[in-house]
């Protein structure tokens, strides 16, 4: 309960004393009726999208079992709500009229494996993974709608729909703006972001992220070698020669802050994201420096301990006549002189009995 209450205290949610379901349902039906009267939509489509006796969307929390502390994922179930059919219709409309998917987009884990299996891995590559914090809740809905409609106008795919720019934008706003829902016995309104559970949630979030990637790609000079994204999870590879802290230079970082601020991200979320990114980058750089220092130390130790390989000595055997103690002294001096002058030769002296 405490975790879900913390989520409901975010600025995207407003507590309302009464349910606004009937008001929102009437507003949507009136606009659809207007489109029908103007012959923009057929009678069949009007009946499909309009709503009567709908139920209020319900929020529940889904624990993120893979994260420490098990934070909750807020889901607003829209099934049976007044704008559920409209959201499904618009989601299909956007998907079918989206001209191109970004190269960074990943469909599933198998698609990721296919794309990275041919990467030539070596010691000069650094892999990084990160994700967008609460993407759906933090997606600025107004900005995402503007981007989606402009893309359809630019590609002229809006001509495949029965709507013009103003009408399509208005329908999308009805589907995602100021959505009433309940948690327990309390009524709330989601004023921004895209409700997780809405049919429009995946497509609008992807359109927004794709547009943001285009903006970053436009001014980033220190680009990663590989950049792939699955919804809000990002996989990228840098060259070790790159200074990862300068992937976004100061000017670019300022531009990024401005973009996020314009898109409605609160200051504390922006600061947190940049701070956590800096921590990750510093850890990577510190690890690199430690590895370089260790490698330098190992090289110095190897140089200090390095000795010339001991040459294999050739053995020479000499046989001399034995005249007693004098012969032993002579052979000893001979071996000593040979060891000094020709150290790679090992001289062995053998004695033979002198025959008179």
pLDDT digit string (tens) for 12-47? 888 999 989 999 999 999 999 999 999 999 999 999
Rounded distance between C-alpha atoms, residue 9 and residue 62, angstroms: 17
The predicted pLDDT at position 47 comes to: 93
- The answer to the question of residue 173 being in a domain is yes
Q: Which of 166, 191, 209 lies at the terminal end of a domain, its last residue?
A: 209
pLDDT of residue 67: 73
Within a domain: residue 158?
yes
Does 197 lie in the same domain as 317? no
Shared-domain flag, residues 16 and 146: yes
pLDDT of residue 33: 95
Helix (H) or strand (E) holding 111: helix 109-116
Spans in the chain with pLDDT lower than 50: 248, 251, 356
Single residue among 209, 234, 253 that ends a domain in this structure: 209
Spatial separation of the C-alpha atoms in residues 260 and 146, rounded to whole Å: 15
Task: Tell whether 317 and 205 lie within a shared domain.
Answer: no
- The domain of 23 spans 1-100+138-209
Is the pTM value of this prediction over 0.85?
no
pLDDT per residue as tens digits for the range 222-251: 677 788 888 878 888 877 655 555 554 554
Q: How far apart are CA 45 and CA 301, in angstroms?
A: 79
Whether 301 is covered by a domain: the verdict is no
In a domain, 33, yes or no: yes
Report the candidate in 41, 35, 49, 39 with the shortest Cα–Cα distance to residue 90.
49
pLDDT at residue number 246: 54
**Domain final position from 209, 227, 257:** 209
User: In the prediction, which pLDDT does 124 show?
Assistant: 74
Q: Report pLDDT for 304.
A: 63
């Amino acid at each position: 309960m405490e975790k879900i209450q913390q989520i409901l205290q975010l600025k995207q949610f407003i507590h309302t004393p009464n349910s606004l379901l009937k008001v929102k349902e009437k507003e949507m039906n009136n606009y659809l009726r207007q489109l029908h009267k103007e012959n923009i939509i057929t009678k069949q489509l009007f009946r499909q999208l309009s709503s009567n006796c709908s139920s209020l969307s319900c929020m529940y929390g889904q624990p993120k079992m893979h994260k420490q502390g098990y934070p909750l994922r807020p889901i607003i179930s829209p099934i049976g709500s007044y704008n559920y059919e409209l959201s499904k219709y618009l989601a299909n409309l956007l998907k079918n009229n989206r001209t191109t998917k970004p190269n960074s987009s990943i469909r599933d884990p198998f698609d990721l494996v296919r794309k990275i299996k041919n990467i030539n891995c070596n010691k000069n590559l650094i892999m990084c993974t990160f994700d967008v914090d609460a993407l759906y809740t933090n997606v600025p809905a107004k900005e995402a709608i503007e981007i989606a409609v402009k893309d359809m106008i630019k590609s002229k795919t809006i001509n495949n729909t029965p709507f013009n720019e103003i009408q399509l934008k208005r329908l999308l706003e009805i589907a995602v703006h100021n959505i009433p829902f309940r948690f327990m016995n309390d009524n709330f309104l989601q004023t921004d972001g895209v409700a997780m559970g809405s049919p429009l949630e995946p497509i609008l979030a992807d359109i927004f992220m794709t547009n943001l990637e285009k903006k970053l790609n436009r001014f980033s000079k220190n680009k990663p070698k590989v950049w792939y994204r699955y919804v809000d999870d990002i996989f990228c590879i840098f060259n070790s020669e790159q200074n990862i802290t300068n992937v976004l230079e100061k000017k670019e970082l300022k531009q990024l802050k401005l973009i996020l601020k314009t898109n409605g991200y609160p200051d504390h979320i922006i600061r947190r994201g940049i701070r956590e990114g800096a921590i990750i980058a510093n850890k990577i750089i510190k690890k690199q420096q430690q590895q370089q220092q260790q490698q330098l130390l190992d090289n110095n130790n190897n140089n200090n301990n390095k000795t010339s390989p001991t040459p294999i000595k050739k053995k020479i055997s000499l046989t001399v006549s034995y005249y007693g103690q004098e012969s032993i002294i002579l052979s000893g001096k001979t071996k000593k002189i040979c060891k000094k002058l020709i150290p790679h030769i090992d001289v062995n002296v053998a004695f033979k009995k002198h025959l008179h």
